[in-house]
Amino acid sequence: KKDGTLTAVQAELVVDAGAYASLSTKVLKRATTHATGPYNISHAKVDCYAMYTNNPPAGAFRGFGVTQSAFAVESNMDIVARELGMDPLELRRKNALRVGSTTATGQVLRESVGLVDCIDWVRDRVRELEEKPAPDAGFTEPRIGWGIACAYKNTGFGGGAPDNAGAEVEVYPDGAATGRDVQVRASSADLGQGLTTVLAQIAAEVLGLRFEQVSVLLSDTDLTPDGGPTTASRQTFVTGNAARLATDGMRERLSFVAAEHWDVPPESIRFEEGELRTEDHAVPFAQAAEWLIEEGREPRLRYRYHAPETRPLGEGGDMHFAFGYSAQAAQVAVDKETGKVQVLRIVAAADGGRALNPQAMLGQVEGGIVMGIGTALTEEFRLEEGIPQTRRWKDYKTPQLGDMPEMAIYLVEHPTSTGPFGAKGVGELPSIPTAPAICNAIFDATGARVYALPAKAEEIKRATR
């Protein structure tokens, strides 16, 4: 409408699956269900096709299809805003999903929707930065522009798929086995996203211990319960809940043992600073573990957590049990002579629920931005007649240190009631809006619209001229 209200989206997605479908249909489904962007839209028609070709089979990448559809959605939002003579940021804010909104798949969002807060923080930070000189890009005649993009991404498998994970906790009377008082075990993989730290933090929080008193064992399938794949931004939520509930059970077990020793109600016992305490008693955690073993009770407890039920696409209801939300703005400089693009600043806000480890979460957002810069400007897997032409890292051209912009990042914490201490997870979310934000900034600087990634200098130069 003329006032910027979105009424409908029609989209068609076609993917090159290669010789075997592999994960193509699953990636495509996620791209499709997110193809309207994180916006209130009354009507949607989205068709998708996975095509068999003579190219190599394709697999999963951070964002799992949403990265691709978000590029189209957010580019279109920029085009629409300019046709309306409207601020692209305000168009997004006007139509942003909120608590009570219904997604394109028919899911009503009942809680934990921090998109408007993300947009507002990005808007205010950009206004501050616009009052300051832009960083030097090293170009003789740079053209400077800002671009905005938003994104949302599901947590967990969704779509009716069973989503569960197991965790085991064991307490030690002397810490002899591990050098710690407690060990948490899960078979899930830590790929650098910080799962080890988060599980230790969760156990320490529940049992009133210092972080250093907890060790974590991952991925040894002889010793750890199945945690499912490290995918779908699910580990903090699903394995984190398994660890929380396992340690809750162990806390209850230790409380009963101490209550018997002190002849007090179990609920009166507090777990604080590495001790079990009441008004009149206090013992070190290790002593309580020793009492547990002396009474012949099991010092090990295993719990399997099952995530909230979801529904398959087309059946209505909750297709996912949680979503993360993000807004990003990019400032770029474009060399008038060559079309080369330098990203000067990225302003990013992300809602991944409660940040259990804020520093690690900031690192996740920074890493996602770096990947998004590569997606936007440098990374390309080239094929000719089904034969890969990109065979070495130097041909693929990942971002280098000199490509890094200034970053301003803010964590918007809208807790979800079902996550561990309110966490949703943030694994894939930060890499999704970066590329469209950069390409919208390129248009703002030059008037050249990027329709395919990566954005190539020679094409930008040609379009600008």
Q: Would you name the residues annotated as active-site residues?
A: 428
Q: Are 227 and 187 in contact (CB under 8 A)?
A: yes
The rounded distance, in Å, linking the Cα atoms of 461 and 456 is: 9
Alpha-carbon dihedral angle through residues 47, 48, 53, 55, given to the nearest 10 degrees:
140
Residue type, 131: E
CA–CA gap between residue 97 and residue 38 (Å, rounded): 6
Run of H or E residues at 52 = strand 43-52
Q: Residue length, the chain?
A: 465
Q: At what angle do helices 195-207 and 240-262 cross, to 10 degrees?
A: 20
Give CA–CA dist 178/250, Å, rounded: 18
Alpha carbon distance 345, 329 (integer Å): 8
- The token pair that represents 292 in the structure block: 């547990």
How far apart, in whole angstroms, are the C-alpha atoms of residue 114 and residue 118?
A: 6
User: Please, where are the H alpha helices in 295-388?
Assistant: 358-377
**Are 453 and 376 in contact, with CB atoms under 8 Å apart?**
yes
Strands (DSSP E) found in 274-340? 275-277, 282-284, 300-306, 323-335
Strand partners, 214: 182
Given 3-state DSSP classes, what are the helix, strand and coil percentages for the chain, each rounded to the nearest 5? 35, 25, 40
Q: Where are the beta strands (DSSP E) in 137-264?
A: 142-154, 164-171, 182-186, 214-218
> For residue 231, how many C-alpha atoms fall within 13 Å in the half-sphere facing its CB?
14
